[in-house]
Amino acid sequence: MIQDKIYDVAIIGGGIVGAATLYQMQVKFPNLKILLIEKEDQLAAHQTGNNSGVIHSGLYYKPGSQKAITCVRGRRALVKFSQEHMVDHEVCGKVVVATKKSELPFMEKIFANGLANDTEDIEKITGDQVREIEPFCNGIAGIRVGCTGIINYVQATDKMAKLALGLQPESIISLGDAFIEAREEGGISTIKTEKTTHKAKYLIYCGGLQSDRLAKKDGVNLDMQIVGFRGDYYELNDEGKHKIKHLVYPVPNPEFPFLGVHFTRMTNGEIECGPNAVFTFKREGYGKTDFDLKDTVDALGYLGTWKLFAKHWKFGLDEYKRAFSKKLFLQRLQVLIPTLTMEDIRPGRAGVRAMALGPDGEMIEDFKIEYTNNSIHVLNAPSPAATACLAIGEDITAMAEKRFNLN
């Protein structure tokens, strides 16, 4: 079935970055007819709907980087949006806790980052002050981060999409519509999906876990590849919930590309503990034994994956052990909350993070966006992309306005 309508812009991918781009573009250009294509039957089905639900402050990111700039700007915009449109959220604050002296220099560094990034309402605190905020927490010092929050990102995604469609009745969201390819001819791209064929003048790819594959189909020369890492969570049982009041994070280990196991109070009242970080054999696989041959061959056939493994093999082995051992997972949690017991925790959900790796095995730290003649590709948008989504959407809209002469 071929659709006769020619859209001004087609957005591929219905995570929160795709939805925020749709929303920001429709707000600025209400006359544009925009199509959003999502392969799943609902929006926010992968990274957006399976992350930790945290509104990040901007503490961890290199000053001057796109992550730092858009996180702070996007956080403020997201909180305002959520207040105006009744999205479940709470600016509840968090503490970043140092449990040993060797962590203090890096704690000082991320505090300095926060100041440089204009992250408001942060202060260094003593171990006693940590326990005033979190009585069950073990720490010798910390950072109180008052502007960190929690949010229902699926609800936020749905609200952005609904508001965008309300601005332009001819814009649509096509769910359960897996993208296959797009071919441009005479200034119009014919977009083939598993269900139908669409037409659009310009394309914006927000493919998340599939971003590199979508870019390759569009002829983008890549110096990176997406490799999936699964994160498993535990939840606190009712007997253990009183041991966490806010959000509690460790000082991240600068040797590793993850923030470490932390405690997150969710908008539904649950408290999650995690995640770990293990290589996954399926990009969109949330079970410990999920496997996809193509995903595995792509990942293990990439030199950058093996260089990452070689550099962090000991860390990776420890993470795998914890993935299959509740006892070992608990031991990691007890570093921050020593009184936690096996009875306090139960297995929870899992998420998969799209890690963009260079051929040298180094993680690409900052957001990465590339262009072709009639396309924009969001190639790398890891955490804090959900927090920064409205700022990213605003930036993509500005890029599209300039490159595509939108009006």
* 135-193: pLDDT as tens digits: 999 999 999 999 999 999 999 999 999 999 999 999 999 999 999 999 999 999 999 99
pLDDT at 177: 97
| Closest to 168 (Cα-Cα) out of 260, 73, 36 | 36
pLDDT of residue 407: 79
For 238-252, the pLDDT digits (tens) are: 999 999 999 999 998
DSSP states of 164-221 as a string?
HHHH-TT-EEE-S--EEEEEEETTEEEEEESS-EEEEEEEEE--GGGHHHHHHHTT--
Do the Cβ atoms of 37 and 12 come closer than 8 Å? yes
Q: What is the pTM assigned to this prediction?
A: 0.96
DSSP-derived 3-state class of residue 129: helix
Tally the residues of the chain.
407
Residue 255: CB atoms within 10 Å: 9
Question: Between the CA atoms of 38, 40, 44 and 45, what dihedral angle is there, to the nearest 10 degrees?
Answer: -150
More confident residue, 405 or 236: 236
Q: Assess whether pLDDT exceeds 90 at residue 343.
A: yes
Domain boundaries, given as residue ranges, for the chain: 2-48+154-224+365-404, 225-239+270-363
Band of pLDDT at residue 15, cut at 50, 70 and 90: very high
How much is the average pLDDT of 285-298? Answer: 96
At residue 314 the predicted structure's pLDDT band, cuts being 50, 70 and 90, is confident
pLDDT grade for 12, boundaries at 50, 70 and 90: very high
pLDDT tens by residue, 221-276: 999 999 999 999 999 999 999 999 999 999 988 877 677 889 999 999 999 999 98
pLDDT interval class at 320 (50, 70, 90):
confident
The Cα–Cα gap between 256 and 319 comes to 12
Please state, in angstroms and as integers, the Cα–Cα distance from residue 154 to each residue in 54, 196, 267, 386, following that order.
12, 26, 12, 10
Question: What dotted CATH number matches 2-48+154-224+365-404?
Answer: 3.50.50.60
Above 70 in pLDDT, residue 1?
A: no
